[in-house]
Structure 1
């Protein structure tokens, strides 16, 4: 029995001393990749803007009277000079007639005084009447002539007042709701307007950008007009406009600067008070290095990407991202053109991980299309 136990122990010792097999190599991590490319990338600023009418007027009466007629309906499109309202003109017509009568009376008095001056001037030269008497004739004529000028001014004022009984649109635009209906009495320059007209074509969009971008905006604006694009809910297509105004001071409460863009708005897709997304184009970088946004990740020390080396190992690199445009990030530092970056599967990677490049969705779609064509 002891001999048998010793044999078993010897066998176990020989097994323990036998060389262990080498560990198997780690499996490659499957990833999807894309190539960094050098291309022209626009320099864009994004913001939220508010649409504002270029011109907006609260239409009010300039005379007191009864509103007789309304020639516009709620929400109508109006033209410049179009008749909107008519106020009872009879009081103004009576005042004009009275002013014309006074003018005619004073013209007659002036003509009489002029005739007396013409009659007695030769007599006064011969000394048949005194100089004081002649001066009275001259003074009477000058006073009559002055009275005629006053009457002419009164007639012009009465005509102006009569013209105010017809209220016309000051510019083309879109009418709001009619606030005073025919039959009501209106007062000159009353607190309540008859209606409001907004000019919607062209139109403004107000927006703000961080104050740190002021120099970039002003430098780009000095080179030429800057394009602005507006997009909003319900709009069939984005609207293209032009930067029209940069405020002369930064708002200290928000650290932003106010800007304004002008849009033709021929289809009236932009409406006063509407919120829209604004994209301001400051220029174009002709040789920018771009990678898909999915390749860029944020870490505790900033942005980074995984670059696939020629030996199929991943290298983690810190990158400097200047901006993102249409799903692509512009890289200022960290990646060179034509290098391969990982766009999917970064969670499986660490610096130096062996990778296996998986077939991309684009390749799958191309293969399926080719297969269908072969069939």
Structure 2
């Protein structure tokens, strides 16, 4: 009897508990249905071409920077440009007092003229001595011929003397004549050698005088160069900065900087990227030109350029690598020293699944999810896999389909299954599943225990 009574009591208790839990579920569902729709904004899941970009902060650098200095000393007589003026290569910038330099040039020219006269004199002496050599050689040839004839006559008369056909006195006369002519030939040979030695000395003197004139010419050329430094011209096309010295100041050679000129067309933008992206950047650069965009503060349109430089070492302190992009800067919207936002476009990904970045929520354990609006005007909490974020867009690898609606604003008041009202651009609400009354009080915030992960 008692066991049967206990079993009956247990069955009654189970039925009571089941009824209570069912009532609670029905109460919770009806409570959600009674809540007014939550106003939200939505966006469609789209497929579009998304660029693969690297973003950085860069600094504009002049393509070329020239510090203009005086190469000669003197008083600064005239400034031919204004501060902040555009100049072209060869434009006159400054004039330094040239009088001392002009005097030095005149002195060098006079010294050279004097030495040129000495060269002419040395050449005249050389020609005279060469003529003397010719004369002595002619006399030598004449005396050699006479000596040869005298020797022949002496041998002939010696034979006649042996046969006693002529007197001794007559033979002695021919012998003396032959010996005299032989001595004359030896004297002529000495004269020729002496004249030739004199010509060699004259040639050395001429060469020395000509070397002296060449040295004088170098001095004249140097004086002309020094004089040309008195007029300072622009070495590049660019824009002038502030004047550091003014008319009347005395400048010293290679000491005083007068002006700085920056070449701003074209120009560089220098920026750094994490070293982890170096391999990708080098790979894409090997395949072609790598384009970059620079946008300054307050500028509406970016300036386009090309990456032209990758540094040869990674900065071990920051773990970044420095790059430079070259921009034509035709409109001069980039200025040296300016900070700009740089966008480096590595490639483009076609047919990427994209949602606005504000639609993506991050829950516990760093799980990404979005609220998807279903046709019945309720929302579904759906986990997604994020490939990457590019600006205001998030590329989704999986979890969504093109054309689905995701909530971009109002997620804080949503729970799975909650009714929503889509707010249009003008603020009027509508329910995606059809008509329905607009909420009067905007609904209440769901309990914290019902929030999504």
Sort the TM-score into its range (normalised by shorter chain).
Answer: 0.7 to 0.9
Aligned residue number for residue 323 of structure 2? 259
53, 58, 78: which one pairs with 2:87? 78
Aligned residue number for residue 389 of structure 2? 323
Q: Deviations over 1:247-267 (max 9, x none)?
A: 122111001111111112222
Q: Aligned partners of 2:429, 2:380: CA distance in 1, in Å?
A: 27
Aligned residue number for residue 143 of structure 1? 208
**TM-score w.r.t. structure 1 length?**
0.85
100, 112, 120: which one pairs with 1:111? 120
Q: Secondary structure at the match of 1:54?
A: strand
Does 2:342 align with 1:333? no
Aligned residue number for residue 298 of structure 2? 234
Q: Report deviation, 1:306.
A: 2.8
Please identify, of 337-346 and 22-31, the stretch whose mean Cα deviation from structure 2 is larger.
22-31
1:123-162 matched pairs, under 5 angstroms: 123-125=132-134, 126=137, 127=189, 128-129=191-192, 130=194, 131-162=196-227
Classify 1:366/1:193 alpha carbon distance in 2 versus 1 (closer, same or farther; 3 Å): farther
Q: Report deviation, 1:346.
A: 2.4
Does 2:184 align with 1:175? no
Does 2:313 align with 1:249? yes
Please identify, of 332-341 and 143-152, the stretch whose mean Cα deviation from structure 2 is larger.
332-341
Q: Aligned partners of 1:233, 1:333: CA distance in 2, in Å?
A: 37
Q: Aligned partners of 2:41, 2:241: CA distance in 1, in Å?
A: 56
In structure 1, list runs of 5 or more residues that go unmatched: 1-15, 368-375
Aligned residue number for residue 100 of structure 2? 91
Aligned residue number for residue 67 of structure 2? 58
297, 301, 306: which one pairs with 2:361? 297
2:67 and 2:258 in contact (8 A); partners too? yes
**TM-score w.r.t. structure 2 length?**
0.71
Q: Aligned partners of 1:254, 1:333: CA distance in 2, in Å?
A: 35
Classify 1:195/1:313 alpha carbon distance in 2 versus 1 (closer, same or farther; 3 Å): closer
Does 2:251 align with 1:186? yes
Q: Secondary structure at the match of 2:265?
A: coil
Bigger-Rg structure (1/2) = 2
1:208 and 1:259 in contact (8 A); partners too? yes
Greater fraction of residues in helix: 2
Q: Deviations over 1:314-334 (max 9, x none)?
A: 133042241223x22112333
CA RMSD of superposed structures (Å): 2.4
Q: Deviations over 1:234-279 (max 9, x none)?
A: 3353222221211122111001111111112222221111111111
Q: Aligned partners of 1:275, 1:40: CA distance in 2, in Å?
A: 29
Q: Report deviation, 1:71.
A: 0.5
2:273 and 2:320 in contact (8 A); partners too? yes
1:265-276 matched pairs, under 5 angstroms: 265-276=329-340
In structure 2, list runs of 5 or more residues that go unmatched: 1-15, 138-188, 431-453
Q: Deviations over 1:172-213 (max 9, x none)?
A: 1111111111111111100x3011111111111111111111
1:65 and 1:87 in contact (8 A); partners too? yes
344, 352, 361: which one pairs with 2:409? 344
Q: Secondary structure at the match of 2:419?
A: strand
Aligned residue number for residue 373 of structure 1? none
